[in-house]
Structure 1
Amino acid sequence: MAKKSDKKHEVETTGHEWDGIEEYNNPLPRWWLWIFYATIVWGIWYSIAYPAWPMISGATSGYMGWSTRENVAQEIAEAEAANAGINAQLASVELTAIANDPELATYARSAGASVFKTWCAQCHGSGAAGAKGYPNLQDDAWLWGGTIEDIHYSIKHGIRNEEDPDARYSQMPAFGEILEAEQIDQVVNYVMSMSPSYEPRDATLVAAGEQVYLDNCAVCHGDGGEGDIYQGAPNLSDAIWLYGGDYDTLQQTVTYSRFGVMPPMGGAELNEAEIRAVATYVHQLGGGE
């Protein structure tokens, strides 16, 4: 019998060598190569058939003319067409009558929730609980009224903006330019004594602060600090503070004032049906009057 050779079959190398390490010249399997070539052909076809290559003012559209933007626009148009009837009804009915129509009210709340999450949640929060400087829409503190008509007006025209001449407007003076530092300290302590949430830092200044308050603040906030929602003057005797009711925050508020701005949503942003929908949604959150 022939004796088998002990010599191992050596694969040829590529001829390259790195620090004494040589590279075998093992060919790739043919099935792998054919798949690789197929993916190249498929990639070339895909870049020609579909939008792919960025250009100066856009991208190649592809000979199939397919576009995700056009698909979304078509779906939006179909949805708007399907809801055209109920939107027309929502835009024309009396605001107070929306709640009396179960179908219309359900649609308004659902559509209003979508509008709120798109346009309002950035400031008021996804759950409408607000943040520092942005009102909580779930409580009963409404600076400009919490009826559905009041809410509708605030959404449509906004507050203290320069875009809409019908925007709600009020302005607190910067009392740092009017009062002495001692007087500001006095009135801050007095205002803190009004609120159930805070105690004055220096109770000995409360009496003097009351007179400063009556002379400078009561015309808007009322003698008892109850506020005036239709002037945009908040209630100072409750536990709700838009910017904070602690000593340092009140010092800053009295000295420099506050001037929060809400943009108008009427016009280019929202149509009448959308404004009414989001007003309905906000009104039923729990704090609407």
Structure 2
Amino acid sequence: MGWLSDSINLFGLIAAIVILILTIYVAGTLVKKMRDSKAEGELTDHQWDGIAEFKNNLPVGWAVSFLVLIIWGFWYLFLGYPLQSYSQIGDYNRQVDAHNKKFEEKWKNLSKDDLINMGQGIFLVQCSECHGINAEGMNGKAQNLTKWGKEEGIIYTVEHGSTGLGYDGGEMPVLGLSQEDAKAVAAYIMADISDVKNTKYPDDVAKGKKVFETAGCTGCHGPDGKGMPGMANFAPDLSKYGTVDFVKRVLEHGKKGHIGQMPSFAYRNFNDTQIQAITDYIESLSSN
């Protein structure tokens, strides 16, 4: 009977007993009245199919009950329940937080290879259904993640546009750049803007910077590629491209693709170690 030590549970039990007693009493009284009493009183002028309504005032007991119920409801919602009360959702969240702390403490010193292996396991269970076991998107069913976080992913976005990330600036249209210019922009983003700070095409970085500034990219992504000042959700911050922060955002918000909606994985409560593992695994994939 330890649960009776919880004041909310005890209060709820007492209230339930009181309500049950009152219900039995009121129901018995009304049944007796229906059986013994006769209809008396002044009727209103309104009738429906020969049935009229008595000009009776609202019973005092009903009015008092309604008023007490409203007051109790406000007390319960804003004072009684939220303070030091038990909640299944709150208890679940506390358990998840405790598990994540233990998990991260246990696996905090994983090597790069271990993180990749962990990420592959998570990917095969959670992501491969749409992206395929090789992460190639199963013939366009979903995004080809072997290109994500690399120059190839940027080139693809420049050539095909981007949809479904839910930014306030709307969808990114096809820019119509040549393949050489798209490659140069990709090199510039990966080398100078992204926190990855690495590109396979270093000779194209200077050209990419010029194309980025003249092709209209700064109009949405800002002059430094980190988004418009004061408008954090207007367009993607390209400094996060290829990093764990961008993966975390997609996992939390989902993404609308050409064939449907990738759901948010926020309910999975991936911890930081797991998200880092997924990021490292995707980064390790070959884009060839």
Q: TM-score, normalised by structure 2?
A: 0.30
* Structure ID, larger Rg: 1
Q: TM-score, normalised by structure 1?
A: 0.30
The one of the two structures with greater contact order (alpha-carbon pairs below 8 A, sep at least 6) is 1
More helix by share: 2
